[in-house]
Amino acid sequence: MSLFVDQARAKALFDTLVAYDADTSLRPRLAESWDSDDSGTRWRIRLRQAAFHDGRPVTADDVLYSFRRVADPALASSSRQYFAKVDFTRSKAVSPGELELVLGAPDFEFPSGWGAPGAEIVPAGTTAFGAPVGSGPFRFVSFTPGGAAVFRKNESYWDGAPTIDELEFVPVNDETARVNALLSGQVDYAHDLAAGTAARLTGDGRVSLLEARGTTMQGLILRLTQPPFADPRLVRAVLSGVDREALNRVALAGRGEIGNDLFGKGLRGYATGIPQRPRDVDLARSLVREAGAEGLNFAVETSDVDPGFPTAATLISQQLNEIGLKVTPNTRASSTYFGETKTKGVAALTRTATLPVPTFLNQRFRTGGSNNVNGFASPEFDALMDRAAASSDEGARLALFGDAQRIVHESGGLLAWGFSTWTIAASKRVAGLVTAPPNTFDWARFDRARLS
């Protein structure tokens, strides 16, 4: 849960240059407009008039500083991939309200990274974030590590001051406790609810449900650089041995959609022409035998960080045992799960909310990508991504991204078994919130909330 809490808090305090609509098309935010030269290596960005919470205007120097900071490998930001091509020695502020970013290689998809989590704009020179200063709709008041964060409305917000005076984030990892706090009136909003919980709350007159259906990828990462999944036969055996329909029916209570081992179903750039991978137990068993892996033991890493993970881990383990493997779930603490599974274990459950498909591909599958935790490396894939980025023709660009996804589908080591429904429950006294996928423009817009 903590990643999405962090992102919601960041959205309240900070702005990005752009935001994502539900299909990941771009909506201007701090960037009023932008364009590139014919080569796709020089980008001009014109900023709207906005101010930080301390009264300083948001300027081109702040944007340059923010992007340079994120691109610094020492920060180890998962967002550094978006700015890896920027030549900061040649990029410059043209004026306080305009900047030019120079890239080392063409990239006509470059603006997509400006709206990603981690690309928030901070004042130039910021090194400490104990009392953060942003330009977002709420100002920082207090924060207790592991406890509540309290923000107050920004009366001078460029996009209109919030209606509510104060916003408090109360992290509660246990879903039952979150729901009970909502039903008892202790809180007004409970996010990231399991499909079964959503089914039970449907029709409850005390709450309103906001359900963004099929918007969060549910997957299993296979670490390709280590045994047993350094053997592509076992990767294919796992992909063929899992019953996606059963996972949707049980782990997602039938409220999700099945996946095809690709991210971004329904989003711009998703490869729709790749046939659905079926469950083929006979093929999976033969691949296990061929690899000499009958009875092989390994664990599926899981956690309650996602409400569907524990059930999914149990079901995947049972299904893979049916093809001749010996698989068991290994439960890790939710507070450290995503950090630990970047380096530990050989198979780990994962989830990803809304991001532009090319952004996800570069993060997860490019050689050396900032979130390439399964160790996938393919010169052919990298070359396709580079060719796509260098094309000014969007149709040609998307076709090349589709070719890259075919490689991922065959050998990327990602079992994307389904897409869960992002469910939020809110008190009936809350108005102004709308259903939206996580990470998009309308998600977590607490500045629009009204209390009756």
Instruction: Write down the domain spans for the chain.
Output: 14-142+154-168, 143-153+169-213+422-451, 214-420
| pLDDT for 38 | 97
Tens digits of per-residue pLDDT, 107-122?
A: 999 999 999 999 999 9
The answer to whether the CB of 374 falls within 8 A of the CB of 222 is: yes
| pLDDT for 193 | 92
For the chain, helix, strand, coil in percent to 5 are 30, 25, 45
Indicate whether 79 pLDDT > 90. Answer: no
Indicate whether 419 pLDDT > 50. Answer: yes
Tens digits of per-residue pLDDT, 162-185?
A: 999 999 999 888 889 999 999 999
Question: Could you give phi then psi for residue 409, rounded to 5 degrees?
Answer: -60, -35
User: Taking residues 74-82, what's their average pLDDT?
Assistant: 84
- Judged on CB neighbours under 10 Å (0-12, 13-18, 19+), 28 is middle
Cis bond before residue 228 (omega within 30° of 0): yes
Indicate whether 335 pLDDT > 90. Answer: no
- Judged on CB neighbours under 10 Å (0-12, 13-18, 19+), 414 is buried
Indicate whether 2 pLDDT > 70. Answer: no
pLDDT band at 1; cut points 50, 70, 90: very low
Indicate whether 26 pLDDT > 70. Answer: yes
User: Taking residues 224-239, what's their average pLDDT?
Assistant: 98
The answer to whether the CB of 34 falls within 8 A of the CB of 111 is: yes
| pLDDT for 77 | 83
What is the per-residue burial (b if ≥16 Cβ within 10 Å, else e) of 43-55? Answer: bebbbbebebbee
Q: Which fold would CATH assign to domain 143-153+169-213+422-451?
A: D-Maltodextrin-Binding Protein; domain 2 (3.40.190)
Counting other chains too, the contacts that 195-202 makes at CB distance below 8 Å and 24 or more residues apart are: 195/251, 195/252, 195/253, 195/254, 195/255, 195/256, 195/307, 195/308, 195/420, 195/421, 195/423, 196/253, 197/307, 197/423, 198/253, 198/255, 198/421, 198/423, 198/425, 199/253, 199/255, 201/425
- What single-letter DSSP state applies at residue 1? -
Indicate whether 426 pLDDT > 80. Answer: yes
DSSP of 183-228: HTTS-SEE-S--HHHHHHHTT-TTEEEEEEEEEEEEEEEE-TTSTT
User: Taking residues 69-95, what's their average pLDDT?
Assistant: 92
Q: CA-to-CA distance for 16 and 19, rounded, in angstroms?
A: 7
Indicate whether 428 pLDDT > 60. Answer: yes
Which CATH superfamily is 214-420 part of?
Answer: Dipeptide-binding Protein; Domain 3 (3.10.105.10)
What are the structure tokens assigned to 410, written together? 């065959």
The answer to whether the CB of 242 falls within 8 A of the CB of 296 is: no
Tens digits of per-residue pLDDT, 354-377?
A: 999 999 999 999 999 889 999 999
> Which class is 14-142+154-168 in CATH?
alpha beta
The answer to whether the CB of 208 falls within 8 A of the CB of 190 is: no
In terms of Cα–Cα distance, which of 179, 30, 46 is closest to 115? Answer: 30
Indicate whether 337 pLDDT > 90. Answer: yes
Asked if 143-153+169-213+422-451 and 214-420 have one fold, the answer is no
**What integer best gives the mean pLDDT of the chain?**
96
